Structure 1
């Protein structure tokens, strides 16, 4: 088993999906997006899975909604931090 191929943090998927939903990759550079991902993910608890279907099948709807809300809050907070840093430079 190769750990980096078989296991990943489910929040990575949620963070990337929310960033795409905000259309940020169309307006921001790759370095900004990478920093944004790191800042957002560092605010969220890890939730390791092997297969996406595991989360779809075993996760309660209320827990899924909470994870999505936590992700949105973390991304928004990270955006505020990065934008504030950009404006101060």
Structure 2
């Protein structure tokens, strides 16, 4: 069994979804996006799964909504940190 192929953190999917929703994947550099993902994911406790379908069938709607809000907030905080840090470097 190879862990990196079989098991992943469901929050990775939610964070990437939020990045695409905000169109950051179009407007920001690869380095910014990599830093953003790391900062956002480090704010949220991991939720490991093997198959996406597991989350669809076995997760209550209220918990799924909470996880989506966790990802949204984590991305917002990570963006604020990166953007404030960039302003400091430019000064």
Aligned residues: CA RMSD: 0.4
1:46 corresponds in structure 2 to 46
> Could you tell me how far apart the structure 2 residues matched to 1:25 and 1:14 are?
14
1:31 corresponds in structure 2 to 31
> Could you tell me how far apart the structure 1 residues matched to 2:6 and 2:57 are?
18
Q: Counterparts in 2 of 1:63-74, with a 5 A limit? A: 63-74=63-74
- Give the C-alpha shift of residue 10 in structure 1: 0.2
- For structure 1, list consecutive stretches of 5 or more residues without a partner in the other structure: none
1:88 corresponds in structure 2 to 88
Q: TM (normalized to structure 1)?
A: 0.99
- For structure 2, list consecutive stretches of 5 or more residues without a partner in the other structure: none
Count of residue pairs brought into register by the alignment: 89
2:5 corresponds in structure 1 to 5
Q: TM (normalized to structure 2)?
A: 0.97
Large movers: runs of 4+ above 6 Å = none
